[in-house]
Amino acid sequence: MALKTHLESNMSLFSTVALNGLTAASTSISIGSMPGSLGTRYYDGSRIRVVQFQVLVKNPNPELAMNVSENINDYLEGATFDVKGYKLNSCEVYVDPSWLEKTSSSEHIYTAAYKAEIIKE
């Protein structure tokens, strides 16, 4: 996912970003796709695709996990940028960053969900 590379290149994170699930490491960040709604197709054949995704942040330090989750949210909310043949036309949070769970290894997981509109260029 180009968003993974974009976040890693433009943000200071405590971990690389995994795709579709947290890693077994005690610190982990993940971006995963979620089912979403249909986009809009225009008469000229172009289409705006709607992509929904979840961001998970795991860290033994709950404050650090929350802060990184909030920083990612601040970066993505209202963002527009180009990534590898796509233009992210808009990105909106629809589930604000919030605490999800504490694992058996005392790692805190925070989650947030986003809806983005992308245009293939």
Q: Give CA separation, 8 vs 22, 31, 37, 117, in Å.
A: 16, 12, 27, 20
Encode the chain (121 residues) as per-residue pLDDT tens digits: 678 888 999 899 999 999 999 999 999 999 999 987 777 777 887 778 888 999 999 999 999 999 999 999 999 998 888 877 788 889 999 999 999 999 999 999 999 999 998 887 6
The 10 Å Cβ neighbour count of residue 95 is 12
Amino acid at 85: G
Domain ranges of the chain: 2-120
If you classify domain 2-120 with CATH, what class do you get? Answer: alpha beta
